[in-house]
């Protein structure tokens, strides 16, 4: 088998280094959010960047036991109490474009918009309107906007953008996301940025690739899933969950095989 | 369907609270490791406790692309590039008593030892020797001791215990783990505490239940898995991984069906 | 890396053989249940054995969309519509000792009972009564007995045992399972064999190891999970599932961090 | 919570029916492949259809322990020996467009081609050439063609098409797949249909939706994964697998945090 190559971790018998940094030193001086930034970037964050990473991870960690990710983790903990990793994995598997993963699509949208604005010398407002119109005529949803619970506005968005603004880290990512929000309001109806869209805008400004929009949601949500699994193991009996189902298919018939 | 109950998160349309704390406030003032502690405990950590949680999570986050968890995540990213959550979940599923999960067993061992020492007025050395002898005669492994790479000593253990000691948080958990290490050396041979055993001792001293030994390993490792998946997606072609296999079963035979 | 060894499949560029049989020949002459038996045994089944394997797999394939396995698969399909394999995997992860996996524990119980009866020259009734009493005094559940829906009797059990009996395959496994059922009725109360217990008894008589009790349930259930995922993808909108949750934890409090 | 609806299984306390058929009757008279067809279709298969379903499931069940799906399942079995369902799930998670899942994309391609040919009164050859040219100019791969092991021809393809032909079930799906193969040879170079493409053509002719191309691969492969996990549990020690890794990232550096 070919030897695998990696530029993330160098783990020898006498040392472990993460992107060049001695892990023993990181353990003594850095925070977990520093390490998360480092693992996905090529350097450690500044203290302002660390604050944003902490805020994002805290913001997405847990949105209640009834969210699909938490509910699936609890179902697995309910039927299979031999493996907490199985329960956490079941929760993670519910995360996709429709649940928690819209950040990646929104980062691609913002990146495409910034690229078009710069290449063609267009204003953000003009490009945002173009993208909204194009998405609308293609019948596509705009990832990062709208939420099934927070019909009007998700207060976590303002907190994230406030932190970015007060620390001087609000850049073109946030400006373009706001331009998209304006264009949506004008061309369709008011559909506010959601938490996925807010983290997408910030992650663009932090220089991270689009896939990280989905990945950071997962990293944060696992903290919540872990606690939900702990509660299910310690507080609830196995197989307590019964989902009510009604059959509406074909009536009874004979097997002529 | 019955309404589920939970004491972790209260997520209403106008607020999200984690064990009573407003998530908007946590986003602005706390670290991700604070939240992780809070989710698994009933309060926020002190700054010394936060340091230990950060050190544990950083210490277990990534031990190289060839560890079973990372390798499985990369295999999934190699064959199924539609879902990064599927790749991270595949990595998590390799975590059990044999890989990364020994912390829970070690916490149970320490808790049982502390209970026996206190109930019977025995010294830690006496109880540790009893447990080692009992485990040996049962043919069982002692969880939290020994490592396939670090044959002598894992330097992360000393860092963790040094941090606990210097901040005044080293308690009976660490003392009993060291007593077990001594008893193993005397009754069997020197088999040092590994990273799972070290985090187990510290988590006992932090007042966390045994299941958290496995859960915190998962929470930390997911940060590494996420970065490994990002590297596989962005640097490697799909289906690049070929494992060499030799068949040693029965020779070709005829199907008489 | 060391080459892996296997005695299951020999897959060369010009051939694929499963335990010595040419897969091209199997494709033309055998059934999927033949192959499943072959993969877990060292030979192809007789036609009577094939009938039992088919009956078991059909019997466990799907018990309704509200079972934990199906519900978790649908939750994953609801939030992550990029990967049907993620949804099926989420469903599988709910399968453990408490849901679908009791067959393995029951096979171990039957095997232990048969071994004790043969070694000590005791009747099945005597040994079954001993095992029931031992389990009861240990406060353990007897795997393979009782069902949350079928309070009295699961009709699939009679069908499986009827097929085994009429084809001459009912052996000591089934006889010992019935002895256990009798002993439970006499020493505790009537708790009938469930589908897991019935397949366990039959798999013992087919000469399969205990782990297969869990594995065959999974193989059969995946057929149902696949259909449930297909229905969720094609009939339901993403994120349609909302689980009602009530928070009963500590009241709002201030973050003094 | 809203009651879920389903048209697959009606599971009451006194009966279980799959699409109207009594499961007790199916257990006694039908094969597992009958049930698999029924679960994904709206009726039971004819005997010729059943033969094709069996051949497909047998053909994809196991391609060797080193395939990504089997390797990931073995890695999980190696590190987490508490949950065979976790190991099987890890294997399934590697299945996507790049590994085993190309059947769905190929079914969509064939369906689009048949639709275009019928709507515009064009021959299959003309439409196939159009699709190949369009795919080529878009820089896309044609799903269902080519294999990393079988550089020339996968013998399972001929067996599947031979069975379809001899039983009179070869229809427009197979004809269009062959037209695509011809067009690829003429416009690009000879790239033969692979097993995913062959099952795609047959599943189109059986009237199944495109998602089933991926789902049936999973249903078949789980049989092999189950056997691979059984072998890993019973024949190999935990944590035996070591993947060789070389670090090629930045050199050691100081943490100035």
Which ipTM was obtained for this model?
0.96
C95 neighbourhood in chain A, CB within 8 Å = 79-80
CA distance C225 to chain D (A): 9
Give the closest residue to D189 by CA, choosing from D158, D146, D149: D146
Size of interface A-C (CB pairs under 8 A): 124
Rounded to 10°, the helix A211-235/A84-93 angle is 140
Q: Which is higher by pLDDT, B155 or C92?
A: C92
Q: What is the pLDDT of residue C214?
A: 97
Q: What is the pLDDT of residue D154?
A: 86
Q: What is the pLDDT of residue D174?
A: 97
Chain B residue with the nearest C-alpha to that of C21 = B253
B72 neighbourhood in chain D, CB within 8 Å = 72, 75-76, 90
Q: What are residue B21's DSSP bridge partners?
A: B18
Residue with tokens 């061992």: B109
Residue A123 near chain B (CB below 8 Å): no
Report whether pLDDT(A88) > 80.
yes
Q: What is the pLDDT of residue C170?
A: 95
Residues of chain D with pLDDT under 70: 147-152, 256-257
Measured distance CA(D93)–CA(D90) in Å, rounded: 5
> Judged by CB atoms within 8 Å, which residues 218-247 of A form the interface with B?
218-220, 222-224, 226-231, 233-234, 242-244
CA distance B35 to chain A (A): 7
Cβ atoms of D188 and D175 closer than 8 Å: no
Taking only the tens of pLDDT, chain C with its 257 residues reads 789 999 999 998 888 999 999 999 999 999 999 999 999 999 999 999 999 999 999 999 999 999 999 999 999 999 999 999 999 999 999 999 999 999 999 999 999 999 999 999 999 999 999 999 999 999 988 999 986 555 667 899 999 999 999 999 999 999 999 999 999 999 999 999 999 999 999 999 999 999 999 999 999 999 999 999 999 999 999 999 989 999 999 999 987 65
Cβ atoms of B227 and A18 closer than 8 Å: no
Q: CA geometry: angle at C84 spanning C82 and C90, to 5°?
A: 110
Report whether pLDDT(A201) > 70.
yes
Measured distance CA(A204)–CA(A106) in Å, rounded: 10
D11 neighbourhood in chain A, CB within 8 Å = 245
Mean pLDDT computed over B122-134 = 97
Q: What is the pLDDT of residue B58?
A: 98
Residue D156 near chain C (CB below 8 Å): yes
The answer to whether the CB atoms of A81 and C97 lie below 8 A apart is yes
Q: Residue B251: which pLDDT band, with cuts at 50, 70 and 90? A: very high
Q: What is the pLDDT of residue C34?
A: 98
Q: What is the pLDDT of residue A204?
A: 98
Measured distance CA(A214)–CA(A26) in Å, rounded: 25
Measured distance CA(A109)–CA(A113) in Å, rounded: 6
Report whether pLDDT(B149) > 60.
no
Q: What is the pLDDT of residue C149?
A: 56
Structure tokens at C124: 């099945």
CA distance D44 to chain A (A): 8
The answer to whether the CB atoms of B149 and A13 lie below 8 A apart is yes
Q: What is the pLDDT of residue B151?
A: 61
The 3-state DSSP class for residue B253 equals strand
Give the max Cα distance, chain B: 74
B235: CB partners within 8 A, 6+ apart:
A7
B99 neighbourhood in chain D, CB within 8 Å = 78-80, 238-239
Q: Residue A256: which pLDDT band, with cuts at 50, 70 and 90? A: low
CA torsion D126→D127→D132→D134, rounded to 10°?
Answer: 110
The 3-state DSSP class for residue B146 equals coil
Q: Could you read off the pLDDT of D243-256 as tens digits, one per residue?
A: 999 999 999 998 76
Q: What are residue B145's DSSP bridge partners?
A: B193
The 3-state DSSP class for residue B228 equals helix
Residue D69 main-chain phi, psi, to 5 deg: -65, -45
The answer to whether the CB atoms of A62 and B9 lie below 8 A apart is yes
Report whether pLDDT(A164) > 90.
yes
The answer to whether the CB atoms of A40 and B230 lie below 8 A apart is yes
Q: Could you read off the pLDDT of A138-147 as tens digits, one per residue?
A: 998 899 998 6
Residue A61 near chain D (CB below 8 Å): no
> Judged by CB atoms within 8 Å, which residues 172-201 of C form the interface with D?
none
The answer to whether the CB atoms of A25 and D255 lie below 8 A apart is yes
Measured distance CA(A209)–CA(A211) in Å, rounded: 6
The answer to whether the CB atoms of D98 and B86 lie below 8 A apart is no
Size of interface B-D (CB pairs under 8 A): 125
Dihedral sign computed on CA atoms, order D20, D22, D23, D26: negative
Strands A4-6 and D245-247: parallel
Q: What is the pLDDT of residue D14?
A: 82
Residue D83 near chain C (CB below 8 Å): yes
Chain C residue with the nearest C-alpha to that of A82 = C96
CA distance C150 to chain B (A): 19
CA distance A95 to chain D (A): 14
Q: CB neighbours (10 Å) of residue B123?
A: 10
Q: Could you read off the pLDDT of B205-233 as tens digits, one per residue?
A: 999 999 999 999 999 999 999 999 999 99
A96 neighbourhood in chain C, CB within 8 Å = 79-83, 86
The answer to whether the CB atoms of A223 and B74 lie below 8 A apart is no
Measured distance CA(D211)–CA(C230) in Å, rounded: 7
Residue A67 backbone class (left: φ over 0; alpha: ψ -120 to 50; beta: rest):
beta
pTM of the model: 0.97
The answer to whether the CB atoms of C32 and D58 lie below 8 A apart is yes
First vs last Cα of chain A: how many Å apart?
50
Chain B residue with the nearest C-alpha to that of A3 = B66
The answer to whether the CB atoms of A96 and C83 lie below 8 A apart is yes
Residue D244: C-alpha distances to residues B93, B128, B194, C98, D146 (Å): 21, 38, 22, 38, 29
* Interface residue of D58, D67, D90 to substitute, partner B, most B CBs within 10 Å: D90
C40 neighbourhood in chain D, CB within 8 Å = 226-227, 230
B81 neighbourhood in chain D, CB within 8 Å = 96-98
Residue C257 near chain A (CB below 8 Å): no
Measured distance CA(A127)–CA(A118) in Å, rounded: 10
Cβ atoms of C202 and C103 closer than 8 Å: no
Q: What is the pLDDT of residue C14?
A: 82
Measured distance CA(B150)–CA(B192) in Å, rounded: 9
CA distance A148 to chain D (A): 16
Q: Residue A13: which pLDDT band, with cuts at 50, 70 and 90? A: confident
The answer to whether the CB atoms of C79 and A90 lie below 8 A apart is no
Report whether pLDDT(A149) > 70.
no
Measured distance CA(A58)–CA(B30) in Å, rounded: 8
* Interface residue of C234, C243, C248, C255 to substitute, partner A, most A CBs within 10 Å: C243
A171: CB partners within 8 A, 6+ apart:
A204, A205
Measured distance CA(C49)–CA(C207) in Å, rounded: 11
Q: What is the pLDDT of residue D2?
A: 86
Structure tokens at B134: 């009992």
């Amino acid at each position: 088998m070919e030897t695998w190559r990696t530029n993330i971790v160098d783990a020898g018998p006498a040392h472990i280094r993460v992107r060049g940094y001695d892990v023993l030193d990181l353990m003594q001086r850095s925070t977990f959010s520093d390490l998360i930034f480092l693992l996905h970037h090529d350097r450690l964050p500044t203290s302002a960047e660390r604050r944003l990473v902490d805020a994002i991870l805290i913001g997405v960690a847990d949105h209640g036991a009834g969210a699909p990710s938490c509910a699936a983790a609890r179902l697995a903990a309910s039927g299979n109490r031999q493996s907490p990793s199985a329960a956490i994995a079941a929760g993670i598997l519910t995360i996709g474009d429709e649940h928690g993963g819209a950040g990646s699509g929104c980062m691609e949208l913002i990146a495409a918009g910034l690229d078009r604005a710069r290449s063609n010398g267009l204003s953000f407002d003009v490009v945002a309107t173009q993208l909204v119109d194009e998405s609308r005529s293609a019948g596509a949803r705009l990832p990062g906007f709208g939420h099934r619970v927070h019909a009007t506005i998700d207060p976590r968005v303002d907190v994230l953008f406030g932190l970015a603004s007060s620390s001087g880290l609000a850049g073109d990512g946030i400006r373009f996301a706001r331009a998209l929000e304006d264009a949506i309001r004008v061309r369709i109806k008011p559909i506010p940025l959601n938490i996925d869209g807010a983290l997408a805008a910030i992650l663009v400004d932090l220089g991270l690739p689009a896939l990280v929009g989905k990945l950071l949601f997962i990293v944060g949500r696992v903290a919540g899933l872990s606690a939900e699994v702990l509660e299910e193991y310690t507080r609830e009996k196995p197989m307590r969950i019964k989902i009510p189902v009604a059959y509406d298919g074909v009536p009874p018939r004979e097997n002529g095989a």
